[in-house]
Structure 1
């Protein structure tokens, strides 16, 4: 009986030793931050709580490689961070709405947030803004296009309603080819990546 008890205790001890490592692995991911001076610092990154009830952190948690101390960094503290093939950058970002029309400002007076970079070229960046639904803690995102140097971004889609055609046409007012394609009876553009590629070819010098 004593021998069986010892074996059971050994199993419990092993499970207790393994669980924190598993939990840590699920919470933190191997990644990096980009410091204000442009240096890339490797380490472990955590930017949200575990599922199923997700919440995005205002400040990411970061453990520099070889160190156990956890530090917190907000969008004003670092230029960006990344993990598992995902990259986030700090950007000024302010959403304003007037009669259900939304605009997204990027001037320096706007507060900074972390935006996920999906595609990037010299003349156009495809971002995603991550958010959590208040009613069900479900993580979601919406796409944004940004011309570097512009005071605004444009939201590309509106949920199930598809492309925000009028807003896109206004943002790319110097690109009649895009307006023509968006409002055509039969357009070949069905997805945001396809729209991004079209803009690169027809709208970006």
Structure 2
């Protein structure tokens, strides 16, 4: 009888521990977080945009307020990724021939040595991944963005859209030279959005 009682206590304790762990995991899934290049993941409330100044801008350091109210700032170069309001961002060091981001050049090389750090918003990931590069114009509070695409094997991104003017057709046709069906869909305007191009490539252009 004592053995049964002991087994019951251990079972109840294990179940309680499992429930607490599960609730903690669910809670973490709903929190913002920062991932450091040291591989540490820190949960809490993340802020990366300064909303309090005359014009909105990116903070020079990313801020984290933990569950217990502690506040800390992290240098951008120390952060490899973060999540804010269930939107995920990943750090990339990007470079162009001009050594800076320019809207005219469609290629953005991944250059960890001489590149400029950007946190790209992750839209979707796969054989062809879709990211958004965000920025503020000087003296403008609007957060602008452009779509960047990257094949799994490529060490660079291409710019896929030109804002309200739609897809960068010439760039995309050149980039997807080995997928005639996708090129046809773009030419015939059957694919008019970046996400449509990404979905088509991942489902129909991979053998």
TM-score by length of 2: 0.73
Checking the alignment, whether the CA contact within 8 Å between 1:126 and 1:146 is kept in structure 2 is yes
> Is 1:114 matched with 2:119?
yes
Aligned to 1:194: 196
> Is 1:150 matched with 2:154?
yes
Aligned to 2:20: none
Q: How far did residue 48 of structure 1 move?
A: 0.3
1:101 and 1:41, CA in 2 relative to 1: closer, same or farther beyond 3 A?
closer
1:134 and 1:99, CA in 2 relative to 1: closer, same or farther beyond 3 A?
closer
- Unpaired runs of 5+ residues, structure 2, are 1-29
> Is 1:164 matched with 2:165?
no
Q: How far did residue 35 of structure 1 move?
A: 2.2
Q: How far did residue 99 of structure 1 move?
A: 11
Mapped partners of 1:199, 1:82: distance in 2: 27
Aligned to 1:203: 205
Deviations 1:119-146 (A, max 9, x none): 112x121100011122422111111111
**Secondary structure class of the residue paired with 2:198:** helix
**Secondary structure class of the residue paired with 1:199:** helix
* Count of residues paired in the alignment: 173
Checking the alignment, whether the CA contact within 8 Å between 1:119 and 1:127 is kept in structure 2 is yes
Q: How far did residue 57 of structure 1 move?
A: 2.1
